[in-house]
Structure 1
Amino acid sequence: MPGALEGKVAVITGASAGIGRAMAEIAAREGASLALGDITEAGEAVAEALRKKGTKAFFLRTDVRRKQDMDALVARAKSELGAVPTVAFANAGVEGKLAAPWDVTEDDFTRVIDTNIVGVWRTISAVLPGMMAAGEGAIVATASVAGLVGAGGLAAYVASKHGVVGLVKSVAIDAAKSGIRVNALCPGMIETSMVDRLADGAPNFRESLLALKPMGRLGAPSEAAEAAIWLASPAASFVTGHALAVDGGYVSQ
């Protein structure tokens, strides 16, 4: 049986670790060729591991705060992988500092906004022209359950993730008749380095999180990534403009 993304060229930002790395591994399993971008060079090891398993994949250092970086990643995908990307996972993001909003500097606030929402827009704007020309495409932007409900101490992060959900809904409407679907993935707390960083600055952070989870545990990166792959696959062919919570039941409370 062919994989869900067989023959597709996919772009993944934030691909070096966590959910992004899991997206790369599962997309490769499902038959995609991969253009991996991240601000850290650890993405090269991810690409190399996938190539050893027979996947066509490359890594390019990519900062989603720079439009020219995103344009370069998409152009190289077309030249090296042989086709325009018709799948994109706009996954790169940062959490910012856990602090009261009045203790956050303007530079810290705008860095989160520029990465998390403007970076998603840059990714979308880089891949859309090729998708429009091809008459098909699927974009999955990583938002968060913090894009669906509030969370104290992370004003910039929450604002940015709400913005991602709104951006996805708007672009989905504009792109629908061109055969392009646009959805948002909204993970709850997943076992990643982001959670580790937040826990380092807050005593009992993990215990507090677990107390809020109906399932009583954090998610694995692969659980969020599997949902993202489904959203990008033909199995979700009538799903667009949707924000899918993958959160162990958190927002259902």
Structure 2
Amino acid sequence: VVADVTRADEMRDVARAAVDAHGGLDAAFNNAGWTSTGTPMHLMADDEYDRIMDVNARGVWNAMRAQITVMLAHGGGAIVNTSSVAGMRATGASAPYIAAKHAVIGLSRAAADEYAEQGIRVNALVVGSTSTELMREVLTQTPSLFEPFTQRAIQRRLAAPEEVAQTAAWLCSDRSSFTTGAAVPVDGGWTAK
């Protein structure tokens, strides 16, 4: 199902499609994100700010409300939301992106607390620089960024997307049944510094 995370009605449609196809929704991984070109705050247009906040923060808000509604009707579940190291500290990313990723962690913790008694666990991934298609494109266009991106992590490399996915899968599974309200780093040790 293709949907726009900034539209609550489309997120409800996605949750309903999961129920129609599988009889319920045991787990959800909210992994949409958007950033800017690094425009300084005083020069950033309002529509650029709005887009970053809409995709990163409102997208998680819309998705979780739809997912929680379905999970409450089916006895619980697990939700994982993708944040970023930018959700823990200033990273050089744009201010709205940093604010939005802080919001993802806050929304995740608030939902974990609010719905724990109904059997819903919610966690956030604190993701570092990852070798996604977009990242590879950026590094191809600007090779001088490779060293700064890899030197942030104490492991001195980018994460593989599979490493992020495996952590998300663990958080969605019953193997992490006592983990909720957490901001789990998948950052090669960046936040350990």
Q: TM-score per shorter chain, which class?
A: over 0.9
Specify which of 84, 87, 104 is matched with residue 164 of structure 1: 104
Q: Does 1:179 align with 2:123?
A: no
Q: Is the 8 A contact 2:104 2:124 kept in 1?
A: yes
Q: 1:89 to 1:65 in 2, by over 3 A?
A: same
Q: Does 1:227 align with 2:153?
A: no
Specify which of 58, 61, 84 is matched with residue 24 of structure 2: 84
Give the Cα–Cα distance (whole angstroms) in 1 for the partners of residues 190 and 134 of structure 2.
Answer: 18
Give the deviation of 1:200 after TM superposition. 6.4
Coordinate RMSD, CA, aligned = 1.5
- Write the deviation string for residues 95-132 of structure 1: whole angstroms up to 9, x where unpaired: 22222222221101110100001100100001111211
The normalised TM-score by structure 2 is 0.94
Give the deviation of 1:163 after TM superposition. 0.5
Give the Cα–Cα distance (whole angstroms) in 2 for the partners of residues 76 and 170 of structure 1.
Answer: 26
Write out the 4+ residue segments of structure 1 that deviate beyond 3 Å after TM superposition: 196-203
Give the deviation of 1:145 after TM superposition. 1.1
Q: 2:13 is matched by which residue type in structure 1?
A: A
Q: 1:229 to 1:82 in 2, by over 3 A?
A: closer
Give the deviation of 1:241 after TM superposition. 0.3
Residue identity over aligned pairs, in percent, reads: 37
Q: Does 1:70 align with 2:18?
A: no
Question: Partner of 1:61: helix, strand, or coil?
Answer: coil
Question: Partner of 1:186: helix, strand, or coil?
Answer: strand
Query: Structure 2 unaligned runs (5+)?
Result: none
Q: Does 1:211 align with 2:141?
A: no
Q: How many residues align?
A: 193
Q: Is the 8 A contact 1:146 1:157 kept in 2?
A: yes
- Write the deviation string for residues 175-226 of structure 1: whole angstroms up to 9, x where unpaired: 0000110000111000013324554675621111222221111010000110
Tell me the equivalent position of 1:240.
Answer: 180
Q: 2:2 is matched by which residue type in structure 1?
A: R
Q: Is the 8 A contact 2:52 2:96 kept in 1?
A: yes
Q: 1:97 to 1:235 in 2, by over 3 A?
A: same
Q: 1:128 is matched by which residue type in structure 2?
A: I
Q: Does 1:61 align with 2:5?
A: no
Give the Cα–Cα distance (whole angstroms) in 1 for the partners of residues 22 and 73 of structure 2.
Answer: 15
Q: 1:212 is matched by which residue type in structure 2?
A: R
Give the deviation of 1:136 after TM superposition. 1.6
Q: For 1:1-253, what aligned pairs fall within 5 Å after superposition? A: 60-79=1-20, 81-196=21-136, 198-199=138-139, 204-253=144-193
Q: 1:232 to 1:87 in 2, by over 3 A?
A: same
Give the Cα–Cα distance (whole angstroms) in 1 for the partners of residues 157 and 22 of structure 2.
Answer: 42
The normalised TM-score by structure 1 is 0.73
Give the deviation of 1:170 after TM superposition. 0.5
Q: 1:69 is matched by which residue type in structure 2?
A: E
Give the deviation of 1:161 after TM superposition. 0.3
